Amino acid sequence: MSKSSVSTRLIIAASVNDADLLYATGFFVPDPFIFMDIRGSKFAVLSDLEIDRGRRSMKGIEVLSLTDLQQKAASSAARPRLGDIAAHVLKSRKIRKVSVPGNFPLFEARLLEEHGITVEPVEGSIYPERDYKSPAEIRHIRAALKMTEAGIQAGREALRKAVIGKGNVLMLDGARLTSEKLRAIIDGTILELGGIAEDTIVACGNQGCDPHERGHGPLRAHQPIIVDVFPRMTATGYHGDITRTFVKGTPKPRVAAMYEAVYEAQMAAIDAITDGVDSFAPHKAVCDVFEKRGFETSTHPKTGVHQGFFHGTGHGLGLEVHEMPRMGRTSQGPLEAGHVVTVEPGLYYPGFGGVRLEDVVVVTGGKARNLVEFEKELVVR
């Protein structure tokens, strides 16, 4: 259905892992609860465990007691579930149709339908205004990025301190430096700063040819190491997302050329980002640089895996790591002021490894503003 036709929104979820609900309430709850937005009038149904905190924390939202509503809804359901209770509240307000997110629980949807409530799922976010970040949201993202930078800095310092051992294996404090160890250093730094980093990527050599390979085993000198960190700040729920590629030692000439091309492509993409530009334009700018420099995208003749540049150029960032808008070969629609997007071109060739750089920019009326300050250097000495 069209997002513009949304009048009554209903969400049943745990706000700690539901971006729409966290956006609407600003309230972290680990268990599912009911939230309704009826033409701008907002209601939350909370358990006795959460109700006092909710009434203190949520501004402009009427907080209803789950215990009281369970008793009132008992006439229509022996053991009222959240769907039964939501139906009771909606019917008391003469509402027979609701819009719900695409990830709305099927069980609760069927309960609502049994009570005569029409449930219409919305594609994408039920709050499309999430695509446009307010100044306060941009500050939250910038804080998350500073935390991310600190994590990457800790990882880079560990690479600086590492020495090259037998078989070009990196050694730190007398022990092999592995992807797992470097990931723990990065994630631990972020944890101390109030963030949670999950699935941090530390992928060395050919492991980096798979953009979402987390990495495992010993890190080696003279090979590219992709470090991609995308933590969530626990106080706000907003994410950072930064990627750097490092080589401890001397990179192969091909890897150095890949790095130069990726850097140039990223700058070209950022230069292409302005208010109103088609979201495909930054991706095309990346592809044009790679084509000019002779880096082809194809399928490896022996392994059948993709090589070159075969993913999108960027995505929205906020309460989720991957939000709208997207910048890729199938992207449609304009980039507009207030969008916050990653810019992350990469090149991947088996036998050489992967190179990726990622920053985060905010779209403005003029030149896009890069929110990341962490420098770019390939060689770590």
CATH number at residue 113: 3.40.350.10
Q: According to the model, what pLDDT value does residue 302 have?
A: 77
The residue among 98, 130, 162 that closes a domain is 130
Are 66 and 152 part of one and the same domain? Answer: no
pLDDT of 300 over the 90 cut: no
The residue among 93, 111, 130 that closes a domain is 130
* 208-266 residue pLDDT tens: 999 999 999 999 999 999 999 999 999 999 999 999 999 999 999 999 999 999 999 99
Buried b (16+ CB within 10 A) or exposed e, 96-106: eebbbbeebbe
Are 116 and 143 part of one and the same domain? Answer: no
Are 114 and 164 part of one and the same domain? Answer: no
* 124-153 residue pLDDT tens: 899 999 999 999 999 999 999 999 999 999
Residue 56 confidence class, pLDDT cut points 50, 70, 90: very high
pLDDT, mean over the chain: 95
Which value, in Å, is the radius of gyration of the alpha carbons in the chain? Answer: 24
Are 206 and 67 part of one and the same domain? Answer: no
| Nearby residues of 135 by Cβ (< 8 Å), 6 or more positions away | none
The residue among 130, 156, 182 that closes a domain is 130
Residue 39 confidence class, pLDDT cut points 50, 70, 90: confident
Q: According to the model, what pLDDT value does residue 1 have?
A: 41
Strand-strand pairing, 118-122 and 379-380:
unpaired
Q: According to the model, what pLDDT value does residue 274 have?
A: 97
Are 77 and 39 part of one and the same domain? Answer: yes
Are 96 and 240 part of one and the same domain? Answer: no
Closest C-alpha to 270, from 195, 354, 335 = 335
Residue 305 confidence class, pLDDT cut points 50, 70, 90: confident
Q: According to the model, what pLDDT value does residue 215 have?
A: 98
Residue 303 confidence class, pLDDT cut points 50, 70, 90: confident
* 344-371 residue pLDDT tens: 999 999 999 999 999 999 999 999 999 9
Are 91 and 235 part of one and the same domain? Answer: no
pTM for this predicted structure: 0.94
Q: How many residues does the chain have?
A: 381
Domain count for the chain: 2
pLDDT of 288 over the 80 cut: yes
Are 174 and 257 part of one and the same domain? Answer: yes
Are 80 and 141 part of one and the same domain? Answer: no
Residue 275 maps to which CATH number? 3.90.230.10
Q: According to the model, what pLDDT value does residue 6 have?
A: 57
Are 103 and 186 part of one and the same domain? Answer: no
Higher pLDDT, 2 or 119: 119
* 181-208 residue pLDDT tens: 999 999 999 999 999 999 999 999 999 9
353 sits in the region (left: phi over 0; alpha: psi -120 to 50; else beta) called: left
Do the Cβ atoms of 354 and 345 come closer than 8 Å? no
pLDDT of 90 over the 60 cut: yes
The tokens of 99 are what? Answer: 């819009």
Residue 315 identity (one-letter amino acid) = H
Do the Cβ atoms of 265 and 292 come closer than 8 Å? no
Range of the domain at 258: 132-380
Residue 272 confidence class, pLDDT cut points 50, 70, 90: very high
pLDDT of 2 over the 70 cut: no
| 3-class DSSP assignment, residue 116 | coil
Are 217 and 266 part of one and the same domain? Answer: yes
Are 186 and 272 part of one and the same domain? Answer: yes
Q: According to the model, what pLDDT value does residue 283 have?
A: 98
